[in-house]
């Protein structure tokens, strides 16, 4: 790594960090006003607690050593993280660790006790996030060694958080009034603002994952942008056909779906592939919205449809669109046969199984001891008042 690479990596760390407050506003705009601070708090708090955990032990468990299942403690307390690029990499990866559990807040909106949420994500980061990151990104990790590819976290971030969201909402149940009371978004301008910040920050998320300021990073940047654009168009087309209205929420959701799907593919595909991937994700995630009806889960802000399904779409499509002339292995459409595709599917299944089971165990254990869900009265009054003794809008 030269100084240009290090500079880009540090810049990317800042961009990725910015995505967490971006996500906070993306979600906050969609909840009811009595819960807006509760949502914002859960997201920004991740910036606090997960950073400390990452520095203490999380980074080491993710990137220490080369065992197949878990990192070692070589880097505990940030010991031995040598040289500029080591620290830049540590910082960059920290921002991924921060935002991943925050993704879950969309599914559990309006009904988690803050303390229980804090404990959940702290445990989850150590026993789910770090191991999965190790499998996918650290040489020696079984998914990495198998040959599956995940440029910036389709599996490690989106499938991981998405399946965790699914199992947690199965444990905590639906919002009080769900299905009978209308709960429309209270401030869609926030959601648009959040989408813009996420899109912007995603350039660091994906292009920064090249770990270099080079052609692959530039390709990843272009892919990221085009997938967001195509995701928006794909979603809007389906939405227009099915409901007769293109909506602001749809445009934002489609863009994010495209961004999620391109995440595993970002530096591994080229030509028009990001546009195809974005279109498929935009349309596919729209149809996936129906899943929560089928599963009878109140995934309040559609984390399953956008992150789990979007992540799966991108992870699997990489098996088709992978292009070694950009980097990595060739997919089915580029003469690589089915090898990469098989690896991608196995990686997705492995992450889903592990994260699904362990997240479920943590959720049940916490629910049975300290309780995950707020009291019914607190839920009616709203998280802002009940959890934080604050109100967002004084007027």
Partner 1 sequence: MKLVTAVIKPFKLDEVKDALKAAGVGGMTVGEVRGFGRQGGHTETYRGAEYQIDFVPKVVLEAVVDDAQADLVVDTIAKAAATGKIGDGKIWVTGVDRIVRIRTGEEGGDAV
Answer whether 379's CB lies under 8 Å from 175's CB. Answer: yes
CB of 275 to partner 1, least distance (A): 23
Q: Judged by CB under 8 A, does residue 184 bind partner 1?
A: yes
**Closest by alpha carbon to 35, among 176, 158, 180?**
176
Binding mask 220-239 for partner 1 (x = CB under 8 A): -------------------x
Size of the site for partner 1 (CB under 8 A): 16
289 interacts with partner 1 by CB under 8 A? yes
Looking at 69, 79, 242, 272, which residue binds partner 1 (CB under 8 A)? 242
Cβ-based nearer residue to partner 1, 184 or 335 = 184
Tell me if 359 contacts partner 1 by CB under 8 A: no
Q: Does 243 bind partner 1 (CB under 8 A)?
A: yes
Using rule CB under 8 A, residue 319 touches partner 1: no
Which CB, 207 or 283, lies closer to partner 1? 283
286 binds partner 1 (CB under 8 A): yes
CB of 49 to partner 1, least distance (A): 30
Closer to partner 1 by Cβ: residue 250 or 350: 250
Is 250 one of the binding residues for partner 1 (CB under 8 A)?
Answer: yes
Applying CB under 8 A, does 185 fall inside the site for partner 1? yes
* Residue in 87, 122, 249, 291 binding partner 1, rule: CB under 8 A: 249
Quote the least distance from Cβ 18 to partner 1, whole Å.
25
**Is position 302 an interface residue for partner 1 (rule: CB under 8 A)?**
yes
What is the distance between the alpha carbons of residues 16 and 32, in angstroms, rounded to a whole number? Answer: 27
Interface with partner 1 (CB under 8 A)? 30, 182, 184-185, 239, 242-243, 245, 247, 249-250, 253, 286, 289-290, 302
């Amino acid at each position: 790594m030269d100084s240009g690479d290090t500079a880009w990596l540090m810049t990317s760390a800042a961009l990725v960090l910015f995505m967490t407050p971006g996500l906070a506003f993306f979600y906050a705009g969609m909840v009811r006003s009595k819960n807006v601070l509760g949502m914002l708090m859960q997201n920004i708090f991740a910036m606090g607690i997960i950073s400390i955990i990452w520095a203490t032990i999380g980074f080491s468990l993710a990137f220490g050593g080369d065992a197949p299942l878990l990192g070692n403690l070589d880097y505990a307390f940030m010991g031995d993280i040598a040289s500029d690029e080591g620290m830049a990499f540590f910082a960059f990866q920290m921002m991924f660790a921060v935002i991943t559990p925050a993704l879950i807040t969309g599914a559990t909106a309006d009904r988690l006790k803050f303390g229980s949420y804090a404990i959940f994500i702290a445990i989850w980061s150590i026993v789910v996030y770090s191991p999965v990151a190790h499998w996918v990104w650290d040489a020696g990790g079984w998914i990495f060694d198998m040959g599956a590819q995940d440029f910036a976290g389709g599996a490690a971030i989106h499938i991981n958080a998405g399946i965790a969201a699914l199992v947690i909402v199965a444990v905590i149940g639906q919002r009080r009034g769900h299905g009978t009371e209308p709960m429309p978004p209270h401030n869609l301008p926030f959601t648009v603002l959040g989408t813009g910040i996420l899109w912007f920050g995603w350039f660091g998320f994906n292009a920064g994952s090249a770990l270099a300021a080079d052609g692959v990073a530039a390709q990843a940047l272009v892919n990221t942008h085009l997938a967001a654009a195509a995701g928006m168009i794909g979603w809007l087309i389906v939405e227009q056909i099915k409901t007769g209205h293109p909506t602001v929420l749809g445009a934002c959701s489609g863009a994010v779906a495209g961004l999620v799907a391109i995440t595993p593919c970002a530096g591994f595909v080229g030509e028009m592939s990001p546009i195809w991937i974005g279109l498929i994700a935009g349309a596919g995630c729209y149809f996936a919205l129906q899943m929560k009806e089928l599963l009878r889960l109140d995934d309040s802000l559609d984390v399953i449809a956008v992150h789990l399904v979007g992540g799966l779409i991108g992870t699997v499509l990489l098996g088709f669109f992978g292009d070694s002339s950009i980097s990595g292995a060739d997919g089915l459409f580029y003469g690589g046969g089915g090898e990469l595709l098989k690896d991608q599917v196995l990686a997705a299944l492995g992450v889903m199984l592990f994260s699904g089971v362990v997240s479920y165990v943590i959720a049940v254990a916490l629910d049975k001891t300290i309780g995950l869900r707020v009291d019914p009265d607190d839920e009616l009054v709203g998280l802002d008042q009940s959890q934080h003794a604050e109100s967002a809008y004084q007027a």
